[in-house]
């Protein structure tokens, strides 16, 4: 997955300090409040090692491009892809199967009412 939509960025638009927590929230689809609260909880648990890690991530991560997502639906889709690519692929395959089934129904209806078209399709087989 080399898409820019599957990369972790700093989200400067929703940032409080450097945008690392808001970038993690955007990447995972978790509310920013909970990511920030988790980071604060980890400070005493890790004896403060989260603080330098935060600043290192703030330096190393690229800023999120302004036009990364077209709308909220696209953002939610890419968050689902990052969380579970296999589940997303199954959902897309299921949608295509449904579209294919409906298209086959339309084709069967149209062909059954048009004998000349039915003969032409049979001749092509």
pLDDT over 90, % of the chain: 19
Domain range for residue 123?
Answer: 85-125
- Residue 74 and residue 91 in one domain: no
Residues 39 and 63 in one domain: yes
> What is the domain count for the chain?
2
pLDDT cut 70: percent of the chain above it:
94
Are 13 and 45 in a shared domain? yes
pLDDT digits (tens, 9 = 90+) for 12-71: 777 788 889 988 888 888 888 999 999 999 999 999 899 999 899 888 988 877 777 778
Q: How far is Cα 42 from Cα 29, in angstroms, rounded to an integer? A: 20
Tell me how far apart the alpha carbons of residues 53 and 89 are, in angstroms, rounded to a whole number: 33
Question: What single-letter DSSP state applies at residue 18?
Answer: S
């Amino acid at each position: 997955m080399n898409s820019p939509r599957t990369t972790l960025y700093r989200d400067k638009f929703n940032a409080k300090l450097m945008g690392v927590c808001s970038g993690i929230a955007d990447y995972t689809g978790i509310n920013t409040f909970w990511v920030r609260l988790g980071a604060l909880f980890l400070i005493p648990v890790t004896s403060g090692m989260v603080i330098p890690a935060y600043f290192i991530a703030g330096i190393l991560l690229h800023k999120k491009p302004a036009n990364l997502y077209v709308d909220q639906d696209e953002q939610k889709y890419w968050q689902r892809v990052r969380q579970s690519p296999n589940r997303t692929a199954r959902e897309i395959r299921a949608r295509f199967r449904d579209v294919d089934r409906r298209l086959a129904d339309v084709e069967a209806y149209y062909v059954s009412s048009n004998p000349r078209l039915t003969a032409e399709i049979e001749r092509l087989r």
